Amino acid sequence: MDIKYEYQFDINDVDELIHIYHGNQWLGHNQEEVITLFNTATHVIIAKSEGKVIGFARAMSDGVFNAAIYDVMVDVAYQSRGIGYKIVHEMLAYLGELSCIHLIATTGNESFYEQLGFRKLKTGMAVYTDVKLKDEYTV
């Protein structure tokens, strides 16, 4: 499979991005929100096969010390083919040499990110306003 990686958001891809979010059961993402998410990201990687979006990730970085990777997603029809691994690898290279790159894994996917060099934090903390997410991700 020939996969091309794009490093900027194209508004023409928004419906395909939403399709991937929804296919992965992230149902709360609508067109306006996805446009905002990708327009405000400092780094975007979109994987395409034959012109169709099959995966993506976005990140926010200060460009000096820190970054956070968000929403690593692969279309369910293309999962388990190494695409997510490649997207994260590309994102890490794109972000460059920073002191720290954060990422919150979805439950059950921690080992995937450990394969890419991510480690659990001793002092990581978060505030979740959504009770369901708070219960799932905090101790």
Q: Report the topology of domain 3-137.
A: Aminopeptidase (3.40.630)
Long-range (24+ apart) CB contacts under 8 A made by 53-59 are: 53/13, 53/16, 53/17, 53/19, 53/20, 54/3, 54/20, 54/78, 54/83, 55/20, 55/83, 55/84, 55/87, 56/17, 56/20, 56/87, 57/87, 57/88, 57/91, 59/91, 59/94, 59/95, 59/101
**Active-site residue (options: 94, 113, 128, 137):** 113
Query: What local confidence, expressed as pLDDT, does residue 1 receive?
Result: 80
Q: Is 94 a catalytic residue?
A: no
- The whole model's pTM is what? 0.93
For residue range 123-139, list pLDDT tens digits in order: 999 999 999 999 999 99
Which regions of the chain are under pLDDT 50?
none
